[in-house]
Structure 1
Amino acid sequence: MPSSVRVCGSYTDMNAGTPAEALMDFTGGIHMCIQLSDPPPDLWRLMSRAGNYGALLSCSTPQGESSSLTLSPNGLVEGHAYTVTGVIQMMSRGKPVKMLRLWNPWGKGEWNGDWSDRSSLWQTVNSQDREKCLSVADDGEFWMTLEDFSKFFTDLDICGLNPNFLDEDSSSRWTTSVAEGRWVAGTTAGGCMNYKDSFWTNPQYRVKLCGEKAEKNILVSLMQKSDKRNRHLVQNLHIGFSIFEHRAHRGKFTASFFSSQQPVAQTKTFMNAREVMELLTLKPGEYMIVPSTFHPNETASFLLTILCKTETRCYENSGERSPEPVPEVPDHIITDHVWLTRHCLNSNMADVMKVKNRPEDENKNAFFRQHSDKYEEMDAEQLQRILNEKLLKGDLKSGGFSIDACRSMVALMDTSVTGRLNSSEFIRLWNKVVIYKVTTSTLALSCCTAFQKYSNPVPVPHTSVFYRRVTFVGQDIFFQTDVSRTGTLSLTELRNAVVASGTPGSGEPPGMRVSDDTLNLMALRYGASSGHMTLESFISLILRLDCMFKIFRQLSDGKTMSLQESEVKTSASLL
């Protein structure tokens, strides 16, 4: 009993609930739920196998007009749970009859229809069956046919420690794969397939089925895990999943894939139950399972369990992806944009910025001397005033950089370890901010320099046309990915912004891979309570990623590197 209290939260929370939850919580077994309004054609064989393997079976009657437990004319209690204690077939008048024995956990109150304790139909079976099965007593136990069972009960739950009850082949060896995940509003909670623009953001899991095709060879279970400790506070979301067949593909599947593909299998309906499951027949191949809530932006944790009769490989598919395409633009602009991205925003951007910055270094030095102290150094408070009132004035949405953010910047850029920024450290910080937040005019001049440098080996548009169209690409990373034009980044836009920023400071082309878990941590650490990220938070995030990347690159020396637990904690503390 104390262990049950810990699971439910309190003694009060142990009151009421569903049989399925009780069976799974107490046994940890394999669960299968069957809606008797649409039963499988092999329902009788399934129940017989479950009985032979010692599985637990429970069922429920439909809820009546009132929420109270009301006794119906047939003797069954409305909205009540019963247990199936026997599955047997006997002969009556020369014909086989499929019979089920049920028990009311109250210990009294029984079915009074056909094959009840005092039914005359018991006189149609042989004396051995009658003596073995019939017990005339108000003990809550009674018999009824499978047809009446399907008519007067709504659902059947089967829970067994051995999954062999799922299949008639007792020699089958079922393998189990379990994955834990989470839907996070704004990031990985895209809703069902009705929401075409956001469905792709849901967690994705790849499954590879090997071996030969077999009937009912895979069971997929999706269980939502509440963040509430007390069970009476839990409000289940409507959940379900879709399964897609796919070929070799690298990275997370985007909206374009789902707009052209239909699922090969899915849950029949989204239910506000703790668990939904489907027993399916799938041919060998590669599949992707997408668990989701019905509505987008609903946060919850979940457990995805896959049981298969053949060798199965399952892994999360969110670790690598390409950014979701921005809205379509005319082809002639795309041509220029591709050229600019390749020669300005990628590895050559560093050279372009160096060419652009050389004549301005003296101006930046003069600016630094004007705003620094008498020792030509700058502390966090001075940096805060310059960023908020000079360099980024008009672009900041939430009051500007906080003093804590500026202290972190000083710590990241302070290579001389003085607690302040000297002239070279400040200019290096300035240049990084420019890369992450470049104005149209600045990038236009830089791109013209790039045009002169690369126009001979690379065919590009005419100079005048090139200069006029450069304003399209002159949007910086932050504002280019802010497709909603709110001045902040939603978490979906943040993913694209981080990917577009590439590997900070590496001089390599864009393409940073961001897993769902990493993105959620970024949003938790740097995002506002609304789930959006401001320009100042984005710059702080990218600066720290830059620092982390350099540390990792120095330690790994370009090779694979493993970290001890203490090193992981130290690295995580920098973020």
Structure 2
Amino acid sequence: MSLCLSFRGRWKMGQKNSLGGSSQLPKQDYKALRERCLMEGRLFEDDSFPASLCSVGSGPLLRKLPPGLQWRRPPELHSNPQFYSADTKRLDLCQGVVGDCWFLAALQALTLHQDILSRVVPLNQNFTENYAGIFQFWFWHFGKWVPVVIDDRLPVNTAGQLVFVSSTYKNVFWGALLEKAYAKLSGSYEDLQRGQVSEALVDFTGGVTMTIKPAEAPGNLWDILTWATYSRTLIGCQTHSGKERVLENGLVGGHAYTLTGIRKVTCRHGPEYLVKLRNPWGKVEWKGDWSDSSGMWELLSPKEKILLLRKSNDGEFWMTLKDFKTHFMLLVICKLTPGLLSQDVGQKWTYTMREGRWEKGITAGGPMKSPRDTFWKNPQFLLSVWSLQEGRRFPMPCSVLVSLLQRPRHRHRNWKPHLAIGFYLFRLSKHYGDQRRLPSEFFWKNAPIRWPEAFLTEKEVSQELQLEPGTYLVVPCTSKAGQEAEFVLRVFSRKHIFHEIGCNSSAVFSKEIVDKNEGQDEFFTKLFEKCPEINAVQLQKVLNHMTWSSLGSAQPFFSLDACQGILALLDLNASGTVSIQEFRDLWKQLMLCQEVFHKHDSSHSGYLNRTQLQAAMRDAGIMLSNDVCQLMLIRYGGPNLQMDFGSFVHLMLRAEYMEDAFQNLTQDGKGIYLQKPEWLMMTLYS
């Protein structure tokens, strides 16, 4: 009880923010705390988020806890605890008794992007070297990255099993510790009970979310998903609202899922559009068409069936896009780079962020209701946009993305729910140069060119706009006058100026964002416009045209033999060609291969020796013995037993293909049985 009183008192005595809300996280120096614990020979105990029921919550979640709840550190739960497993091919996290499927669905999407995951979860933490019982994670919180420090005491039952998030690998604890850090950021574990996938995605990435209702989606939803899965996006979705219970079709009502992939397959009767989803529970799957037990798989070629179908109750499954649109209420796409605002490539983007607030009687003007209302009192932001093709008689519209993000109004995120928010957009005269707030008369005479169709009670509201070059006024507001909150307004475009008018002190952060693959994206996009399917010769041309920025002067050359081998691995329907969709899957893997190869090519020679190759494969989650590694150099390397980048890519893809095939064919994880035609296909053609 004393811990609870101390904890609550500490927050109560914390500083208030400018709108009277509770204080945010205490500032804790991770390195200093860790060094002090090591010097004193003790394990860290976090007084700001103690190992007690105060950190769990004070409501219904307490009734879900097992009797005899204990707090234990990972070294007390397993003889060989690991912080993180290099095997990232399987999404290995499972939900506990907290109803935070939205958090876990977003987290599983994060695991598909290793570089972004390592930004949130520093992967160099462990339970061995200089272990002090202290860990640190990073979240994007209201416009900036903030560290969250925790100790590693986790709630378990009397059998030593984790009560909240756990891993299918019982000695891996990064997911449980990350959930604890997010609970601390949110106020308590109970504050994770309700939420939206979009909220967690923003906190993990600082990206911009776009929400689509599948039933009302435009006809090009498949194209949207194709671009999204190829690009740097995280995708979550949610079934229709209701009690979180298993339905007859195997889906869970009112539940969040992760969209982990898409695939256009070739059936005997024509193409079929499939989406791949995962249940955060780590079990309970769809039972309809294209489920694990569906007979629809017999319509595919043997190779497609082997590589796509995995008969195991791991929570991951396929379904048609049509069924997805029927059974899912929301689709959330989180864009990580502004270059994803449109299909334009090889361009520079400008990003500007402004902070503001709605204050009762001053700037909380509410929505437009009638000409003589308080709407004009809302914060007003001037936006000027330019076309890249200046001087053209008929300039092209400018792609602009506007994101309105509201700050949590209380230390505990669920104690004060989000306000309903939105923004209006007005067109201004080219000659507008006054820096004073526009008076109410302006809004009597000018109608907005964009307004909220509905005010949304979400953390973020965003809109992609196509604007003619010129000057605009952005007015963010709440659904009712007098409601108080702080907000961040972000704008992405090719070229713009954005600032608040009638205000002396609103923070601004601007920077230019450049597409890292400027030029080469445009090259292969144009190639696929001319050739919907490309063969090995064309694939060789594409790969040898690319600029491999991480490889420096040692630019690789892909032989025709290597390209034929790569194409065979991608070509699921045995057509001898690959589509742009299949090439996009390859593109993701190429970026990972480039990063891993560059890391281990310490001499920048453009080659890996046996030791370097073994370490590189281990970093990619593929464990090779010394003998197997030597054989791989003989098979894929040169006469001097060194491997260049092109051969490394071929080996990586082949190793991943064979591992995926094994996982899909094995029933118990120990072995598989193949008929002779299947064995020949896998060993000879792939």
After TM superposition, the score normalised by the length of structure 1 is 0.53
What letter matches 2:463 in structure 1?
A: E
**Residues 63-115 of structure 1: CA deviation (Å, up to 9, x unaligned):** 12xxx312222211111000000022112235222211000010111111222
2:422–2:478 CA contact under 8 A, matched in 1: yes
- Given candidates 315, 318, 321, the residue that maps to 2:502 is 318
1:210 to 379, 383, 386: 386
Higher strand share: 2
The separation in 1 between residues aligned to 2:285 and 2:346, in whole angstroms, is 39
Match of 2:417 among 235, 242, 247: 235
* Equivalent residue in structure 2 for 1:276, among 444, 461, 465: 461
3-state secondary structure, aligned to 1:44: helix
Cross-structure match for 1:222: 404
Aligned to 1:288: 473
**TM-aligned CA distance change 1:215 to 1:317, over 3 Å:** same
The superposition leaves residues 340-391 of structure 1 with CA deviations (integer Å, 9 ceiling, x where unpaired) of: xxxxxxxxxxxxxxxxxxxxxxxxxxxxxxxxxxxxxxxxxxxxxxxxxxxx
Give the C-alpha shift of residue 211 in structure 1: 1.2
Report % sequence identity.
Answer: 37
> Residue 216 of structure 2: which of 20, 24, 38 is its match?
38
Distance in 1, matches of 2:329 and 2:348, equals: 31
Structure 2 residue matching 1:21: 3-state secondary structure: helix
- The partner residue of 1:77 within 246, 252, 264 is 252
> 1:232/1:200 Cα in 2 relative to 1: closer, same or farther (>3 Å)?
same
1:169 corresponds to which of 338, 341, 344: 344
CA distance in 2, matches of 1:230, 1:122: 47
Residues 219/114 of structure 1: CA separation in 2 closer, same or farther (3 Å cut)? same
**Partner residue in 1 for 2:192:** 14
Residue identity opposite 2:496 in structure 1: T
Aligned residue in 2 for 1:119:
294
Write the letter of the residue equivalent to 1:312. H
Aligned length: 316
Aligned pairs (5 A) from 1:356-371:
none
Q: How does 1:146-161 map to 2 (within 5 A)?
A: 146-161=321-336
Tell me the CA shift for residue 29 of structure 1.
2.3
2:208/2:403 contact within 8 Å kept = no
1:214 to 1:128, Cα distance in 2 relative to 1, 3 A: farther
1:169-190 C-alpha deviation (Å, 9 max, x unpaired): 2223222111111111111111
SS of 1:256 mapped into structure 2: helix
Gaps of 5+ in 1: 321-575
**Aligned counterpart, 2:437:** 252
1:198 match? 374
Q: Which residue number corresponds to residue 559 of structure 1?
A: none
1:90 paired residue number: 265
TM-aligned CA distance change 1:195 to 1:202, over 3 Å: farther
Question: After the TM superposition, which residues 328-343 of structure 1 pair with which residues of structure 2 at under 5 Å, given as runs?
Answer: none
Measure, in 2, the Cα distance between the counterparts of 1:19 and 1:127.
36
1:35 Cα deviation after fit: 2.5
SS at match of 1:169: coil
Structure 1 residue 293: Cα displacement: 0.6
Cα offsets for 1:214-236 (capped at 9, x unmatched):
57811111111123111121211
CA gap of 1:214–1:221, structure 2 versus 1, over 3 A, is: farther
- Separation of aligned partners in 2, 1:216 and 1:117: 45
Q: Which amino acid aligns with 1:311?
A: K
CA distance in 1, matches of 2:321, 2:397: 24
Q: Which residue among 128, 134, 141 is the counterpart of 2:316?
A: 141
Q: Distance in 1 between matches of 2:426 and 2:219?
A: 25
Q: Where do residues 549-564 of structure 1 align in structure 2 (5 Å cutoff)?
A: none
Distance 2:292 2:283 in 1: 13
User: How far, CA to CA, are the matches of 1:267 and 1:172 in structure 2?
Assistant: 30
Q: Secondary structure of 1:154's partner?
A: strand
Map residues 483-562 of structure 1 onto 2, 5 A cutoff: none
Q: Distance in 2 between matches of 1:47 and 1:215?
A: 24
Q: 1:205, CA displacement in angstroms?
A: 0.5
Deviation at 1:265, TM superposition (A): 1.8
Which residue identity is paired with 1:242? Y
Q: Which residue of 2 aligns with 1:180?
A: 355
Deviating beyond 4 angstroms after TM superposition, the runs of 4 or more aligned structure 1 residues are 212-216
Question: Cα distance 1:156–1:287, how it changes in 2: closer, same or farther (>3 A)?
Answer: same
Question: Corresponding residue for 1:59?
Answer: 237
Residue 266 (structure 1) shift: 2.6
Q: Is the 8 A contact 2:366 2:481 kept in 1?
A: yes
Deviation of the 1:41 alpha carbon:
4.2
Deviations 1:224-250 (A, max 9, x none): 112311112121111111111111332
CA contact (8 A) 1:216 1:279 kept: no
The partner residue of 1:304 within 466, 479, 489 is 489
Task: Supply the distance in 2 between the matched residues of 1:303 and 1:42 (Cα, whole angstroms).
Answer: 31
Tell me if the contact between 2:209 and 2:460 (Cα under 8 Å) persists in the aligned partners: no
- Greater helix fraction, Structure 1 or Structure 2: 1
**Letter of the 1:36 counterpart:** P
Q: Provide TM-score, normalisation by structure 2.
A: 0.44
> Gaps (5+ residues) in structure 2?
1-177, 389-394, 505-686
Q: Partners in 2 of 1:14 and 1:260 — Cα distance?
A: 46
Structure number, greater radius of gyration: 1
**Following the alignment from structure 1 to structure 2, what is the Cα–Cα distance between the partners of residues 23 and 77?**
21
1:94–1:168 Cα change, 3 Å: farther
CA contact (8 A) 1:267 1:276 kept: no
Among 22, 29, 34, the alignment partner of 2:207 is: 29
Q: Does 1:47 align with 2:225?
A: yes
User: Partner of 1:392 in structure 2?
Assistant: none
Q: Which residue identity lines up with residue 187 of structure 1 in the other structure? A: I
CA contact 1:267–1:278 (8 Å) conserved in 2: no
SS of equivalent residue, structure 2 residue 414: helix
- Distance in 2 between residues matched to 1:40 and 1:203, nearest whole Å: 33
Q: Which amino acid aligns with 2:352?
A: S
1:46·1:166 contact (CA, 8 Å) conserved in 2? Answer: no
The answer for the alignment partner of 2:172 in structure 1 is none
For residues 94-142 of structure 1, give each alpha carbon's deviation from its aligned partner in whole angstroms, at most 9, with x where no partner exists: 5222211000010111111222112222222222221111112211111
**1:143 Cα deviation (Å)?**
0.9
Distance 2:318 2:396 in 1: 35
Answer whether contact 2:397 2:469 (CA < 8 A) is retained: no
Letter of the 1:313 partner, please give it.
I
Relative distance call for 1:220 and 1:38 in structure 2 (3 A) is farther
What is the 5 A alignment of 1:343-492?
A: none
Q: Distance in 2 between matches of 1:315 and 1:98?
A: 44
CA distance in 2, matches of 1:128, 1:14: 42
Q: Which amino acid aligns with 1:198?
A: T
Deviations 1:495-541 (A, max 9, x none): xxxxxxxxxxxxxxxxxxxxxxxxxxxxxxxxxxxxxxxxxxxxxxx
